Each structure stands twice: as C-alpha cells, then as structure tokens.
Amino acid sequence: RSSLAKGLRVTGKSSTGAKVVGYVYEDTPKDAVVLRVQYETSDAQANYVGCRVGGLEGYHRTTDGCYGLATSLTIATTPVETTLVATAVEHKNGRTLQSFSTNAQGLMYDDCPGCPYKHYKIFYDYYGDFDYADKWVTAALDGTAADFTRNGDADFSSVAEVARVEAAQKGTAYMSVWMYVIREFEDAIDDCTLACIDCNYAAAHAWDEGVAFYTGSLEGSSGNSKSGDYGLMPYALAEKRCINMRTCGADGDSVSGGSRVNHELSLLFLGGQQRLQRGECSAVRPIVDRIVQLMTVPLVQGSLRYAYKLGYQGSTLPKEKGEGA
C-alpha cells in the first residue's frame, strides 16, 4: 500500500457489526505496522463519540463505537480506496491529564511561537520544575514526597489516604488542567498570529478546546453544577465557591444564580472566539489576561475556605487537609 495522509477517512465495524468512522491520526509511512486512527466526533453532547476509553475501568467508558478486532478498515485514498485488516486493536486516549503537565516544557516554555507563556513561567519559576503538577499528583497517588527544585515541597508518605485522594484530584484539576486551559488560549493567539486558525489538534480550534477543558464534559450542555450536580473541572469549582463566598449571581452578591466568575468568563470566551475568527489577534491578549484573573478567583476562594477551616476552626479532618493542601 501507499503512505497514508493524516485526516483520511477510515471506515470499519464494531464488535457488534455497527459502522464505525474515524480519521488517520498522523501521516503514516507505507511500511508502518501500526495505524493510529482518531474516532469521529459530533456536536451532540450526549453521544459526541462512540468510543470513550481511559481512566478507571468502567468509569464513563463507552466501547460500543470502537473498532472491533479483525475488522476490515476501508481508507479513503485516491484514486482507489485502501483496505486493511486490523490484526490487533488497542484503544488509548490520544491525550491524558498527566500529559498536560509532562509535555508542558515543550508546549508552554520551549517550542511554541509565543514561548515561554507568561503565566506558565510564573509557576515554573516558583516550583523550578516544568512538570510540577505531575510531580504533585504522582506523589499524592503514591504516598511519597513531592520534592521540587525550588519551592512547594509536600510529603504525602504519612498522610491519610482520603487526604491524598483530595490532593491528587485537586492537583489534577486545578494545577494541571487549569494551566493547560490557559495554554490553549495562548496557542489560539499563536495560531491567529500565524494566520493558521485551523492549525489545531483534531481540527478543533485551540480556543474552543480551552473552553472545553475549563468546563469538562460532565457539565452537560447547560452547566449541571448550577443545579448542584457538580463536574470535576475548574468550572465546577467556581460554582461551589461562589456559594461559600456569596459571589454568585450576575452581580456577585448572592448564594444562587451561578458563579459570577463563570458568567463573566462565558462572555469573554465568546468575545475571544469572535475576535480570533476575524483575525484580530492583538485584541485577544487583554481578553486572555482577564480570563486568567477570573480563573484565579475560585482558587483563592478555595484556599481561604480551607485556611479558615484548618487554621481558625482547627479542623483535623484529613479530607479538609487534603483540599487545603
């Protein structure tokens, strides 16, 4: 067969015989023995992709729309389609939450047009490690010490498991994902400056990806956290802490009505997208700076909440210690 170009349509069948569509993930030489394919996605939140894997076994997994073993794959090459038989099939996430941190040096410090991104550099300068978020989360999961080059050391070796769970969860969402959201917005500016608004992972705009990572899929199409069915990403944190700090509602003076932070961010997200689509690259910089300011508010609110619980109220609950850390 000939080499296969990234983006070619790949059609096959699931283990139950249902049609499955994907696209060649990367340019693949003709002598390659592994073909990476990304599944087709839709705009329908409830069933945006038929094959969802990764994470814990059985947790939010969907495999009905995955390619089945020994399926015949038809690839839309021209002038004649190419047919291959998958002798082995392995389903893996193309990106992981861990990779947001472990790949940060290249994506945010060394190898991007706007590198180093200023907000990432602040955190790197503090911790002294490019993968500071991964070091924190891994130490919490393993029950070991997180020894940073400069600041921020934490020793989880004698910490209760419930505290370690909280530290790992919060570190993943509010250290790793939080910074990667900003990275996507910075990447969108880079792409705009390069006159390459469509040069983004999986043909999705980097700006839209930043909004998606900030919000998380568990929010549904209307923001489930507003009704107390909280997601796991920074969006949900803003909804929780506005109730604690009475900063909900359009005016930020209520315990209901949704986080004012999220109200303001939704307008900024839309405004940034519109300016990028019009090629107004320089106009997006102050929007990103304001977005980062607002995204920081729930982090400060959370820190104050647990500093009060642990310091003033004298709480010794491991869960609250983990959240406070």
How, if at all, do strands 145-146 and 19-24 pair?
A: unpaired
Query: Is 184 exposed, middle or buried (CB count within 10 Å of its CB: 0-12, 13-18, 19+)?
Result: buried
- The pLDDT of residue 56 is 60
Write the CB contacts of 31 (distance below 8 Å, at least 6 apart in sequence). Answer: none
Lowest mean pLDDT across 153-167, 200-214, 242-256, 283-297 = 200-214
Query: Is 291 exposed, middle or buried (CB count within 10 Å of its CB: 0-12, 13-18, 19+)?
Result: buried
- The pLDDT of residue 194 is 78
Instruction: Please state, in angstroms and rounded to a whole number, the distance separating the CA atoms of residues 133 and 125.
Output: 13
Lowest mean pLDDT across 92-96, 135-139, 261-265, 311-315 = 92-96
Would the pLDDT of 202 be above 90? no
User: What is the reported pTM?
Assistant: 0.87
More confident residue, 190 or 204: 190
Whether residue 305 contacts residue 268, with contact meaning beta carbons closer than 8 Å, is answered with: no
Q: How confident is the model at residue 199 (pLDDT cuts 50, 70, 90)?
A: low
Number of neighbours of residue 289 by Cβ within 10 angstroms = 12
Would the pLDDT of 198 be above 90? no
Q: Mind listing the pLDDT tens digit for each residue in 134-145?
A: 999 999 999 999
- The pLDDT of residue 258 is 93
Mean of the per-residue pLDDT values of the chain: 91
In the 8-state DSSP scheme, what is residue 7? T
Whether residue 156 contacts residue 145, with contact meaning beta carbons closer than 8 Å, is answered with: yes
The predicted model gives 264-271 an average pLDDT of 96
Which amino acid, one-letter code, is at 63? T
Question: What are the start-end ranges of the H helices in 88-172?
Answer: 97-102, 104, 118-127, 132-142, 161-171
